[in-house]
Amino acid sequence: MATEEIEFIDCSSLSISFEATGKASVSLTVVRNDSNSLVGSYTNENWGGAQFDCVLMSSIQKPLIGTGGWSEWSLSMEGVAN
């Protein structure tokens, strides 16, 4: 029986900036119960009260030692706010 993936966003890590061209840059930290790769794009995501379509630009995965398989991911994305 496969275990369901659990994922939490560390809200204190959320950073969103906008450029005059309409481009949005989003960075945040995600904590998950597995170390599988993340998806490459996020569409219709709601962060900070705004809707975004973003592409993952970089990610760094760090295992959380002693947690039974949890990992922390630092994500950097670019996209547009809807």
Could you list the pLDDT tens digit for every one of the 82 residues in the chain?
Answer: 445 677 777 888 889 898 888 899 989 898 988 877 777 788 888 877 888 899 999 999 999 999 888 999 999 999 998 8
Neighbours of 47 (CB within 10 A): 19
**Stretch (H or E) spanning 81:** strand 71-81
pLDDT of residue 76: 93
Separation between Cα atoms, residue 16 and residue 47, nearest integer Å: 9
Full-model pTM: 0.74
pLDDT of residue 60: 92
pLDDT of residue 34: 81
Separation between Cα atoms, residue 75 and residue 13, nearest integer Å: 10
Separation between Cα atoms, residue 61 and residue 64, nearest integer Å: 10
